[in-house]
Amino acid sequence: MALLVGGFIVSALTTRSGALITVDRKVAAERAKLLAMSAERDRDPDTEGRTVLEILNGVGLPGLAEEFSDYLRSEGFDVLRFTNAQRYDYPRTIVINRGKDVQRARLVAQSLGLAPSDVENIPDPEVQLDVTVVLGHDYETLSSFRRMQSTPR
């Protein structure tokens, strides 16, 4: 679905829990880059079979998405990008299945310390990602965050 918001065309989707996620043209352009990167990744035998994801900072705390990106990479996931979400009022962290295999999203959720039932299933073949993670204000309660805090840098 496309909407006109403040003079910008955006795409919007609503998760099972009712959270609205919007994507403007700038983000759509970044996602087009992901398509190219994904095609390159598909030719790279070192990343074959790995779960590919993006992390969106839905809190607004500088560096938060990068910190979780480093953590998930250390867990064996292929984080293609991390950036800010369109807004910073996500009350809880959301893991969204974007690909064909919802089990990949469940593994990401498990690594973060979320239950499999916390995974939203919204496949989007145009995104060329397996998973989107939107960090919410509950990030400090995640077991992954506690592990990150206890690990020396």
Instruction: Give the start-to-end residue ranges of the domains of the chain.
Output: 45-150
Is 77 within 8 Å of 50 (Cβ atoms)? yes
Tell me the sheet residues that pair with 50: none
pLDDT band at 46 (very low <50, low <70, confident <90, very high): very low
| pLDDT tens profile 6-33 | 444 455 665 655 666 665 556 555 655 5
pLDDT of 82-138, one tens digit each?
999 999 999 999 999 999 999 999 999 999 999 988 899 999 988 889 999 999 999
Per-residue model confidence (pLDDT) at position 109: 97
Given CA atoms 79, 137, 111, 143 in this order, what sign does their dihedral have? positive
Task: Choose the CATH number for 45-150 among 1.10.645.10, 3.30.70.2390, 3.40.50.1220, 3.20.20.70.
Answer: 3.30.70.2390
Q: Answer yes or no: pTM beyond 0.85.
A: no
Cβ atoms of residues 72 and 50 within 8 Å: no
Q: What is the pLDDT of residue 126?
A: 87
Q: Note every long-range contact of 100-105, with CB atoms under 8 Å and residues 24 or more positions apart, other chains counting.
A: 101/130, 104/51, 104/130, 104/131, 105/130, 105/131
Higher-confidence residue: 149 or 96?
96
Mean predicted confidence (pLDDT) in 135-151: 93
Of 15-19, 66-70, 75-79, 146-150, the poorest mean pLDDT is in: 15-19
H helices present in 1-153, as ranges: 25-42, 64-74, 102-112, 143-150
